[in-house]
């Protein structure tokens, strides 16, 4: 089993008063972890450090008990990184792009051909090897980025916003493929799209301004925060009052003039009952999106 341990990791960018990561601590074993938080929470900074793109100020990171600073080359070859933005060499063909990263990862050509054949077939891009990357759709480019991350059979996968910009069908397909890869790997998925990970994550990690807020299983998180949201039936003509006053995670028309609305309380106060005293309360379970809104709401 692979074990990645992070202790008191801190990173402060020059000129910034608030650290991008502040004494961050987490332990990861095989499985999928959703790393959640809004922009600026520290998700990408964490990935940059793990991918050796960025130095950290203080703290320790160990992989299977060894400090990664002492096994930098070994750790680098154990890691596959899919960056947030589509940083592709647009002038290259898909094959040349993957070949380039195979060389960087020191994969011999016989192994590369076997790996690229398997990976591209699984991702549905085997027929694109001669295509220039500039001619591909956003969804296909995401698959190419994931393919390069999988080269070398890495034991740790860092996927930064892997479904960004994809249509629902592409998102589901890519999410299912990622789930297949987690049996013997540590897979960290940085995202602010909660629905990408709520059904596949072993655990979720909530980050805020570089701090670790929570790390636990989805079921434990939902149990802990089970009382943060309530669902009501609200007349459509009055909905603007509720939008202005409350954090709303779900809204659905159930009748011509009636809406089913889930309201999430602020992390700093309970839901005000003043506007809700005449609304019908519906029993409904808390969702991970409710927890996200609760933890990060500014209302």
Q: According to the model, what pLDDT value does residue 3 have?
A: 93
Task: Specify the DSSP element, H or E, that contains 223.
Answer: helix 218-224
Strand stretches in the chain, DSSP E: 4-11, 21-28, 31-36, 58-63, 66-67, 79-82, 156-160, 186-191, 203-208, 211-216, 229-235, 247-255, 258-264, 280-282
Identify which of 165, 217, 222, 168 has the alpha carbon closest to the alpha carbon of residue 191: 165
Q: Domain spanning 3-221: which superfamily?
A: P-loop containing nucleotide triphosphate hydrolases (3.40.50.300)
pLDDT over 70 percentage in the chain: 94
What is the rounded average pLDDT of the residues 91-115?
Answer: 93
Q: According to the model, what pLDDT value does residue 127 have?
A: 95
What's the whole-model pTM score?
0.90
Residue 218 in this model has a pLDDT that exceeds 90: yes
Structure-token pair, residue 217 = 């299983």
**CA 49 to CA 105: how far, in whole Å?**
18
Do 57 and 77 contact (CB within 8 A), yes or no? no
Residue 110: helix, strand or coil by DSSP? helix
Question: Average per-residue pLDDT in the chain?
Answer: 89
Lowest mean pLDDT segment, chosen from 61-75, 144-158, 245-259: 245-259
Instruction: Name the band, by pLDDT with cuts 50, 70 and 90, for residue 49.
Output: very high
What is the rounded average pLDDT of the residues 77-96?
Answer: 86
Residue 215: helix, strand or coil by DSSP? strand
The per-residue pLDDT for range 224-263, each reduced to its tens digit, is: 999 888 888 888 888 888 888 788 888 898 888 889 989 8
**CA 41 to CA 298: how far, in whole Å?**
14
Residue 85 in this model has a pLDDT that exceeds 70: no
Q: In which residue are the tokens 């008191």 written?
A: 8
pLDDT over 90 percentage in the chain: 55
């Amino acid at each position: 089993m692979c074990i990645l341990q992070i202790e008191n990791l801190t990173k402060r960018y020059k000129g910034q008063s608030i650290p991008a990561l502040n004494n961050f601590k987490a332990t990861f074993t095989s499985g999928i972890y959703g790393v959640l938080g809004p922009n600026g929470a520290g998700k990408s900074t964490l990935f940059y450090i793990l991918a050796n793109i960025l130095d950290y100020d203080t703290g320790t990171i160990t992989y299977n008990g060894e400090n990664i600073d002492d096994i930098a080359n070994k750790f680098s070859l154990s890691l596959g990184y899919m960056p947030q933005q589509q940083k592709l060499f647009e002038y290259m063909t898909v094959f040349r792009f993957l070949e380039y990263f195979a060389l960087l990862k020191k994969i011999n050509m016989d192994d590369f051909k076997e790996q690229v054949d398997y990976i591209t077939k699984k991702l549905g891009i085997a027929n694109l090897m001669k295509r220039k990357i500039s001619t591909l759709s956003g969804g296909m480019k995401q698959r190419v980025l994931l393919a390069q991350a999988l080269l070398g059979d890495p034991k740790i996968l860092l996927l930064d916003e892997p479904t960004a910009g994809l249509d629902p069908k592409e998102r589901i397909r890519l999410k299912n493929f990622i789930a297949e890869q987690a049996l013997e790997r540590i897979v960290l998925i940085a995202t602010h799209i909660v629905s990408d990970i709520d059904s596949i994550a072993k655990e979720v990690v909530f980050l805020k301004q570089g701090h670790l807020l929570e790390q636990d299983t989805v079921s434990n998180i939902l149990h802990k925060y089970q009382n943060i949201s309530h669902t009501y039936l609200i007349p459509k003509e009055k909905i603007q009052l509720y939008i202005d006053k409350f954090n709303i995670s779900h809204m659905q028309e159930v009748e011509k003039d009636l809406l089913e609305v889930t309201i999430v309380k602020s992390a700093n106060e309970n839901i005000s009952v003043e506007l809700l005293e005449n609304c019908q309360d519906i029993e409904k379970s808390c969702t991970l999106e409710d927890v996200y809104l609760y933890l990060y709401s500014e209302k």
